[in-house]
Amino acid sequence: MNDASLPFFGPNLDPGSSFVDLLRRVAPHSVPGEAGSGGAAPVDITHGTTVLAIRYADGVVMAGDRRAVAGMTIASRRIEKVFRADYLSGVAIAGAAGPSVDMVRLFQVQLEHYEKVEGEGLSLEGKANQLSQLVRANLPAALQGFVVVPLFAGYDERRERGRVFSFDVTGGKYEETDFQAHGSGGVHARNWIKAGWREGITGDEATALALRGLFAAADEDAATGGPDLVRRIFPTVARIEATGFQALTDEQVEQLADTLLGGREEGAGL
């Protein structure tokens, strides 16, 4: 890319309102997942583990534990897996940490770019489809072991409700009715949520359920980080309602987690 001149294109090459297509025109090597190919990853790559999203009466809550592992080693105790996508949606990522973070960054720019070029934002469904295309573009990398499986959730202004979408490695997009959890501890978190979820659950109840689901996953899955009481590290949590994406501060999560500690999901009384 030439920094000094403006990017102009002929009518046949114009990338329209898509930032990803623009990047393909001017700097194809920077599009995540499209550079290089070859055999399987030769090293243990860093993986993020458990993330989840739960729909409640006024929106959705997304949460993720803070652990990343490379093989049997803890690669990070403080990684963040829940990101703001735009003012009404968020994305949480399980899978290879490096490509995941790249994909989120590209996805954030893609949504903002569309909004600025077109003068209005995409629908929630449109955003989910955009993410699906990014996951599909990552398929060659996924076959080498760099798997990225995001969860996407947001507030749908037209339908006036929270919605949750999950994706598989081929870019398949599936709308979940109520909740979903992904990653190595996903199945444990999902079972815990399944037992506690009901229609019309409040935001605070859903947030507590999300934290307990992560604690339950950490109790069963070695790759999921539990609440770290020595270092005071707790999950990342964000709530999305009609008023926008709101990430809970570390202090808020810490306070909330403290009140929830020592429950059955962590093995109390067993």
Partner 1 sequence: MTMPFYVSPEQVMKDRADYARKGIARGRSLVAFESADGIVIVAENPSRTLFKISEIYDRIAFAGVGKYNEFQMLKIAGVRHADLKGYSYSREDVTARSLANAYAQTLGQVFTHEMKPYEVEILVAQVGDEPEADELFHILYDGTVMDEEGFTVLGGQAETIARALETQFQSGMPTADAVRLGASVLSDADQQSLPAAQLEVAMLDRAPTGRAFRRVRGADLEALLGG
* Residues recognised as catalytic: 49
Task: Report the C-alpha gap between 66 and 233 in whole angstroms.
Answer: 8
CB nearer to partner 1: give 140 or 244: 244
Helix, strand, coil abundance in the chain, percent, nearest 5: 35, 25, 40
Instruction: Please report how close the Cβ of residue 113 comes to partner 1 at its closest, in angstroms.
Output: 5
36, with CB counted inside 10 A (0-12, 13-18, 19+), is exposed
Rounded least distance, CB 112 to partner 1, Å? 7
User: Which of 32/185 has CB closer to partner 1?
Assistant: 32
Task: Output 27 or 143, the one with its CB closest to partner 1.
Answer: 27
Residues 6+ apart with CB under 8 A from 185: 49, 50, 65, 214, 217, 218, 220, 221, 223, 224
Length of the chain as a residue count: 270
In the 8-state DSSP scheme, what is residue 152? Answer: E
CB 6, min distance to partner 1, A:
4
* Cβ closest to partner 1, residue 49 vs residue 100: 100
Q: How far is the CB of 63 from partner 1 (least distance, A)?
A: 23
- Bridge pairing between strands 51-56 and 46-48: unpaired
Summarize as ranges the residues that interact with partner 1 (CB under 8 A). 1, 3-8, 19, 22-23, 26-27, 30, 105-106, 109, 112-113, 116-117, 119
Closest to partner 1 by CB, 112 or 176: 112
**10 - beta bridge partners?**
none
* Planar angle of CA 104, 192, 49, nearest 5 degrees: 30
Minimum Å gap between C-beta 105 and partner 1 is: 7
